């Protein structure tokens, strides 16, 4: 049975990724600041915390970097602390996790698969979220660079770029009819996505069916990025 660690596994997309992978036969470990029952507490910006969790769940065949935060602020009002926190949770978290599993796989002379959760905003910026857009763009760049570097060892690193997905993190925007209308005007599919649709893409990228897929940013956005 292949084993995978999912960060951000306590809610939203991460929780659904855990459910879908478990149903598909994976041995799933969830990590979160507020982990689910049986999960592991992890601040993804904490280097020592990563080592502790990896020690607890090793060996692994896959890693899903799904932990994230989101807020909004005009550029002129954005505090440095908020910018740095956004970058740390998203980018530093992906870096530490990817580096951690890559080191262990190399030591053991084997390979695995990493899936990072980016965003449609990595390629299609929106106003009022400079720090979030920057962080998600950096995840896409980190994914490409890691894929090139780790590819010769057999390890694959890919990312998913979700569009607007119905989760607790988007509940405020989807609770506003004007915001919802603005978002859906950009989605050719004309509807909000569900966490299961992201989880299915994660499952594919982790699987042997994606054995020749490396370094991609896969849009799962109802066609937003096609416009």
Q: Is 212 a catalytic residue?
A: no
What is d(CA 218, CA 202) in angstroms, rounded to the nearest whole number?
10
What is d(CA 33, CA 36) in angstroms, rounded to the nearest whole number?
10
* The pair of three-digit structure tokens given for residue 176, joined into one six-digit string: 């506003």
Cα separation values, 185 from 195, 196, 198, 222, Å: 20, 22, 21, 11
CA angle (73, 50, 78) in 5-degree steps? 10
Cis geometry, peptide bond prior to residue 59 (ω within 30 degrees of 0)? yes
The full length of the chain comes to 227
Sign of CA dihedral 57, 142, 117, 26: negative
**Helix spans in 62-186 (H):** 80-87, 93-107, 130-150, 171-174, 177-184
Residue 151 contacts residue 210 (beta carbons within 8 Å): no
Extended beta strands in the chain, E state: 3-7, 27-32, 40-41, 62-65, 113-117, 156-162, 217-220
Q: Which of 50, 95, 105, 132 is catalytic?
A: 132
- Which residues are annotated as catalytic? 132
């Amino acid at each position: 049975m292949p084993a995978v660690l999912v960060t951000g596994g306590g809610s939203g997309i991460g929780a659904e990724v855990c459910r879908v992978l478990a149903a598909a036969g994976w041995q799933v470990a969830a990590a979160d600041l507020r982990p689910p029952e049986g999960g592991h507490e992890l601040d993804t910006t904490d280097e020592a915390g990563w080592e502790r969790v990896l020690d607890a769940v090793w060996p692994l065949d896959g890693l899903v970097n799904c932990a994230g935060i989101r807020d909004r602020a005009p550029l002129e009002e954005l505090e440095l602390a908020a910018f740095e926190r956004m970058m740390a949770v998203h980018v530093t978290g992906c870096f530490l996790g990817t580096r951690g599993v890559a080191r262990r796989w190399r030591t053991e002379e084997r390979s695995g698969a990493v899936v990072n959760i980016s965003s449609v905003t990595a390629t299609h910026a929106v106003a009022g979220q400079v720090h979030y857009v920057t962080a998600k763009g950096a995840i896409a760049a980190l994914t490409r660079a890691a894929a090139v570097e780790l590819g010769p060892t057999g390890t694959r690193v890919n990312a998913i770029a979700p569009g607007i997905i119905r989760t607790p993190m988007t509940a405020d925007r989807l609770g506003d009819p004007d915001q919802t209308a603005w978002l859906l005007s950009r989605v050719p599919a004309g509807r909000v996505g569900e966490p299961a649709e992201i989880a299915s893409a994660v499952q594919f990228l982790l699987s042997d069916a994606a054995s020749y897929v490396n370094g991609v940013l896969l849009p799962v956005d109802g066609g937003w990025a096609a416009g």
